[in-house]
Amino acid sequence: MSKTFLICFTLVTISAFSSVNANDAIKTKILELFPQADTNGDGVISDAEEAVVSRQAMKRYPQADKDGDGVLSDAEKQALLRIAAKRAKPKTATASTDKAKKTPSFANVKYGEHQRQVFDVWLADTTEPTPLAIYIHGGGFKNGSKDKLKPNELSQLLDAGISVAAINYRYLTIAPLPAAHHDARRALQFMRYKADQWNIDKDKVAAFGGSAGAQICMWLAFTDEMAKPDSPDPIERESTRLTCVATAGGQTSNGPEFWSKTIGPLLGENKKIESLALPLDGERDPEKVRMAVWGAKTLEEANEIATRHSALDIVSADDPPIFMSYGMSPTDKLPSDPKKVRGWLIHHVNLGIALKKKTDDLNLEAHLKHPGAKTEYESLVDFFVDKLQE
């Protein structure tokens, strides 16, 4: 359970002692246990600071008002005191608690007008500005959600003093690509805009994700600065550059020729790379599907847009380091289950090998993990801790 949660519960209970002014002894205890509640850094918890967090707590935890009268009774306040006291005690991690995802510090924060333009953020418990790792989900740009963030990775990053966010973005069935990429960029800039309020170090920001999310992560990492310093929108003035990036099963190119050369031989005889393309809104012709995916009127336009969002085509020597992971080794055979073949191919390690060769040529730091590979880092968490907490 996050300490932000504890702050909310503890501060709500302050009103048990005074309807206007919080008890000084309680304030002192809050400052001792949760120094981050002192937002102005003056060494005391003011009535205003107590009132702000109390209002947030009542809004987020209305169930504390058992009788629904809009006012906490003495019994309800005492119940909150007991809960806060219990939760303040250190707990030994267990397998069951590790599987339970922590409650976000802020949930479903809107960074745009569409219902999918939201994110959750978990703020690490520290008085110093924290690095931030942003999770971008996969799902073929047509499925998935921020809820796919793994609880163990979330816990490990928070324990390492790294704040975490998880975003949703518009599916391509809502808006063609690169709308999803642009949503992720906006979310990143929004988080930097909130850096002071959320105690985030905007100079240490990473992104991670799998499959479609990996594509977006690499686009953010390998695209030159997209901030607009003269924009009337202060969010657009924020940087889009990343400190590092981690991907799982990432598609490193959007080029048909590359896929034919790199993945085509794995398909077997008499099978074309186009067989991996899925229908979109009833359309089955691969070229028309490609145009629809990229919101283009011609195939040439679609290819041009796709190239601008292809890691292998945009990576350069001044880009941040990357940690890539894939679930198979280069010598593994095609799955015997036909239902698994497509997923296995579109997330194949050959895609990572191609990018690793390109980064090596550029003298750019890149790590490629797959079964049987010896790597400097065991996981994206190890990689992030090293790069963000150095």
**CATH code of 380's domain:** 3.40.50.1820
Least confident of 82-96, 170-184, 296-310: 82-96
Domain closes at, from 88, 107, 131: 88
- Per-residue pLDDT, averaged over 278-296, amounts to 94
| Total tally of structural domains belonging to the chain | 2
Shared domain for 160 and 12, answered yes or no, is no
- Per-residue pLDDT, averaged over 41-69, amounts to 61
Shared domain for 119 and 200, answered yes or no, is yes
How high is the pLDDT of residue 1? Answer: 44
Q: How confident is the model at residue 83 (pLDDT cuts 50, 70, 90)?
A: low
Question: Over pLDDT 70: what percentage of the chain?
Answer: 75
Shared domain for 247 and 190, answered yes or no, is yes
Shared domain for 100 and 26, answered yes or no, is no
Domain closes at, from 53, 88, 123: 88
**pLDDT for 23 beyond 90:** no
Shared domain for 342 and 373, answered yes or no, is yes
How high is the pLDDT of residue 390? Answer: 73
Question: Over pLDDT 90: what percentage of the chain?
Answer: 70
The parent domain of residue 60 ranges over 3-88
How high is the pLDDT of residue 28? Answer: 67
**pLDDT for 103 beyond 60:** yes
**Average pLDDT score, the chain:** 85
Q: Output the 3-class SS for the chain.
A: CCHHHHHHHHHHHHHHCCCCCCCHHHHHHHHHHCHHHCCCCCCCCCHHHHHHHHHHHHHHCHHHCCCCCCCCCHHHHHHHHHHHHHHHCCCCCCHHHHHCCCCCCEEEEECCCCCCCEEEEECCCCCCCEEEEEEECCCCCCCCCHHHCCHHHHHHHHHCCCEEEEECCCCCCCCCCCHHHHHHHHHHHHHHHCHHHHCEEEEEEEEEEECHHHHHHHHHHHCCCCCCCCCCCHHHHCCCCCCEEEEECCCCCCCHHHHHHHCHHHHCCCCCHHHHCCCECCECCHHHHHHHHCCCCCHHHHHHHHHHCCHHHHCCCCCCCEEEECCCCCCCCCCCCHHHHHHHHHCCHHHHHHHHHHHHHHCCCEEEECCCCCCCCCCHHHHHHHHHCC
Shared domain for 22 and 126, answered yes or no, is no
- Per-residue pLDDT, averaged over 114-142, amounts to 97
- Per-residue pLDDT, averaged over 369-377, amounts to 96
Of residues 371 and 48, the one with the higher pLDDT is 371
Shared domain for 251 and 128, answered yes or no, is yes
Shared domain for 194 and 152, answered yes or no, is yes
How high is the pLDDT of residue 270? Answer: 74
Shared domain for 67 and 110, answered yes or no, is no
Shared domain for 31 and 168, answered yes or no, is no
Shared domain for 62 and 119, answered yes or no, is no
Shared domain for 180 and 51, answered yes or no, is no
Domain closes at, from 57, 72, 88: 88
How high is the pLDDT of residue 273? Answer: 83
**pLDDT for 41 beyond 80:** no
Task: For residue range 356-372, list pLDDT tens digits in order.
Answer: 999 999 999 999 999 99
